[in-house]
Amino acid sequence: MQIVDLGTMRYCDAWAAQERAHEEVLAGGEERILLVEHPPVITFGRRGRIEANVIAREEQLARMGVEVVHSDRGGDVTFHGPGQVVAYPIVRLAEHRLSVGCYVRKLELAMIAALAEFGISARKDDAGIGVWVDVPGGGAAKIGALGVRIRRGISLHGIALNVDTDLSYFDLIVPCGLAGGRVTSMRELLGDRTPPMDAARSIVAQQIAHAIQNGESCIPSPLGTGAREDDSLL
């Protein structure tokens, strides 16, 4: 599985890179994990509602240089920006005997394992997709978001893990459509022990590759290359 670091790239340009990679993997090419940091951007999944979950006005977003993009991934609204590890695995699910639900669990577990390597205990939440941590003072906060699309049996989009992200950007939205939901980062939890971005990217990519290629397999369903285009949205 090839790991490709795209550096810093606008969301739409990285989306185009995903589409090219998807075509190559569909044609039998090597699977890959695309790593990227995005300039500030708010993205919506297929079911996201801009009027409900963006708090900031259009002129404020323009003044702050924040793009707004409607994506074809699953999930609702989220923010991407500098200091965040974004990973887009482009993999053939049937080849790894994975259902969509199993694939999503593996991405969550990969983020949890990556955080553990840096001394952060994280967990899944049965009430929603993503990765959560307990925060000082009580309560939980989301540190890793997830939204995927499966087209013709091959994955697109993926995960975003907050490493050294400016969390004030999340005040512009209702993250993932969860009113009152708190967001945190490795910087907020670790302070000066926060890893450099290149170290965080490397560990996240390794854990995603390991999770997909090893451990639990689940078979169900029509996830071969003959699946309908919109069969597998989350």
Residue 231 included in any domain:
no
3-class SS of residue 162? strand
Whether 19 shows a pLDDT value over 70: the answer reads yes
β-bridge pairing 232-233 and 140-151: antiparallel
DSSP-derived letter for residue 173 is B
The span from the CA of 234 to the CA of 226, in Å, is: 19
Q: Which of 23, 15, 65, 19 is nearest to 44 (CA)?
A: 15
pLDDT reading at 46 higher than 70: no
Residue 218 has pLDDT above 80, yes or no: no
Exposure string over 86-123, b if 16+ CB within 10 A, otherwise e: bbbbbbbbbebebbbebbbbbbbbbbbbbbeebebebe
Q: Residue 105 pLDDT > 90, yes or no? A: yes
Q: What is the largest CA-CA distance in the chain?
A: 51
Strands 67-70 and 41-44: parallel
Going by pLDDT thresholds of 50, 70 and 90, the confidence category of residue 221 is very low
Does residue 160 sit within a domain?
yes
Structural domain contains residue 123: yes
> Tokens 């390991």 identify what position?
210
pLDDT tops 70 at residue 109: yes
**Residue 222 belongs to a domain:** no
Per-residue pLDDT, averaged over 200-209, amounts to 97
Q: Identify which has the larger pLDDT, 179 or 58.
A: 58
Q: Give the pLDDT of residue 232.
A: 39
Report if residue 230 sits inside a domain: no
The pLDDT tens digits for 142-157 are: 999 999 999 999 999 9
Task: Kindly state whether residue 183 falls inside one of the protein's structural domains.
Answer: yes
Reported as a pLDDT band with limits 50, 70 and 90, residue 129 is confident
Retrieve residue 212's tokens.
Answer: 């997909």
| CATH number of the domain to which 76 belongs | 3.30.930.10
The mean per-residue pLDDT over the stretch 180-193 comes to: 90
Q: How does DSSP classify residue 183?
A: B
Supply the pLDDT for residue 206.
97
Average pLDDT over residues 170-174: 82
Q: Please compute the mean of the pLDDT values over residues 177-205 and round it to a whole number.
A: 89
Q: pLDDT over 90 for what percent of the chain? A: 66
Tokens of 190: 């670790």
Q: Annotated active-site positions, please?
A: 176
The pLDDT assigned to 229 comes to: 40
- The parent domain of residue 150 ranges over 2-216
Residue 30 lies in a domain: yes
| Residue 134 Cα distances to 105, 176, 182, angstroms | 20, 18, 11
Instruction: Render pLDDT for 48-93 as a digit per residue (tens, 0 to 9).
Output: 555 557 777 888 889 999 999 888 887 778 899 999 999 999 999 9
pLDDT score of 112 more than 70:
yes
Yes or no: say if 201 and 106 are a contact pair by the CB < 8 Å rule.
no
Q: How many domains does the chain have?
A: 1
Task: For residue 217, give the nearest of 78, 99, 76, 120 by alpha carbon.
Answer: 99
107 touches 146 (CB < 8 A): yes
Is 207's pLDDT higher than 50?
Answer: yes
C-alpha of 227 from chain center: 23
Give me the chain's average pLDDT, please: 86
Judge whether 229 lies within some domain. no
CA distance 17 to 116: 30
Q: Could you tell me which of 79, 68, 71 has the C-alpha nearest to residue 15?
A: 71
